[in-house]
């Protein structure tokens, strides 16, 4: 039975369901070599559209997934932030991954961190997950900084070779970051005691 995914809103970002008009901007994002630097290849327009189709289908099935990210003030589509099941063969799977991909013009503004905090809130307070993970190639220092800003923890013993990346690729080795329900409870307690935190 289809589920309508909720919208998640922060001070600057709206996480919403995907619209057909997002496809052109998303294809441009996926064709940007700098955005896709830490992926095996850029995506063709057909591959980008197929990605959107999969995301829309799985979001309708589960009620959550990779939300389209929109800047509230301008209504500009800027990419995605959300959750995705990690089911490939690895010591920590199956797991639920939090991830993001934003257009290059929107980097360096804290948008990924801000939106990901709303996704963590949804993960632990509505889905009641025990843990959320995030992973990326060892070369992707920008995404690793976001994981650290979110308060996720990294144990080098958890790092792994991604089975979907060719063995000869420098992108095969991945770092793994974790965030548990207990971590979220501690963060919320700290936020309440200081009277500050991410917008609802």
Contact residues for 189 (Cβ-Cβ < 8 A; gap 6+): none
CATH architecture of the domain with residue range 8-194: 3-Layer(aba) Sandwich (3.40)
Q: What is the predicted pLDDT for the residue at 192?
A: 59
Residue-wise pLDDT for 164-199, tens only, equals 999 999 999 999 999 999 999 998 887 655 433 443
The domain ranges of the chain are: 8-194
For residues 10 and 183, give the distance between their C-alpha atoms in angstroms, rounded to a whole number. Answer: 20
Residue whose C-alpha is closest to residue 137's, from 152, 150, 147: 147
For residues 152 and 171, give the distance between their C-alpha atoms in angstroms, rounded to a whole number. Answer: 21
pLDDT at residue 200 tops 80? no
DSSP state of 130: S
Residue-wise pLDDT for 81-110, tens only, equals 999 999 999 999 999 999 999 999 999 999
141: helix, coil or strand? helix
Q: First vs last Cα of the chain: how many Å apart?
A: 28
Q: Per residue in 76-89, is it b (16+ CB within 10 Å) or e — as a string?
A: ebbbbbbbbebeee
pLDDT average, residue stretch 128-137 = 98
Q: What is the predicted pLDDT for the residue at 4?
A: 80
Q: Do the bridges between strand 153-154 and strand 77-86 make them parallel or antiparallel, or are there none, so unpaired? A: unpaired
For residues 111 and 122, give the distance between their C-alpha atoms in angstroms, rounded to a whole number. Answer: 17
Residue-wise pLDDT for 31-46, tens only, equals 999 999 999 999 999 9
For residues 152 and 144, give the distance between their C-alpha atoms in angstroms, rounded to a whole number. Answer: 10
With residue 122 as reference, give the H or E element that holds it.
helix 111-125
Tell me the pLDDT of the chain averaged across its residues: 93
Q: How far is CA 154 from CA 72, 149, 162, 176, 185, in A?
A: 32, 12, 17, 6, 19
DSSP state of 197: -
pLDDT at residue 129 tops 90? yes
pLDDT average, residue stretch 151-172 = 96
């Amino acid at each position: 039975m289809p589920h309508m995914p909720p919208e998640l809103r922060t001070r600057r970002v709206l996480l919403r369901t995907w619209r057909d008009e997002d496809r052109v901007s998303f294809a441009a994002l996926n064709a940007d070599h700098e955005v896709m630097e830490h992926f095996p290849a850029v995506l063709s327009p057909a591959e980008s559209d197929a990605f959107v189709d999969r995301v829309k289908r799985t979001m309708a099935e589960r009620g959550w997934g990779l939300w389209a990210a929109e800047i509230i003030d301008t209504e500009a589509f800027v990419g995605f932030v959300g959750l995705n099941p990690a089911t490939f063969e690895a010591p920590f799977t199956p797991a639920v991954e939090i991830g993001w991909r934003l257009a290059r013009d929107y980097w360096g503004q804290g948008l990924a961190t801000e939106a990901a905090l709303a996704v963590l809130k949804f993960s632990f307070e509505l889905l009641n997950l025990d843990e959320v993970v995030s992973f990326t190639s060892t070369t992707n220092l920008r995404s690793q900084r976001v994981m650290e800003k979110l308060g996720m923890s990294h144990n080098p013993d958890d790092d792994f070779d991604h089975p979907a990346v060719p063995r000869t690729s420098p992108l095969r080795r991945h770092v793994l970051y974790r965030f548990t329900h207990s971590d979220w409870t501690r963060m919320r307690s700290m936020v309440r005691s200081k009277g500050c935190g991410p917008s609802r």
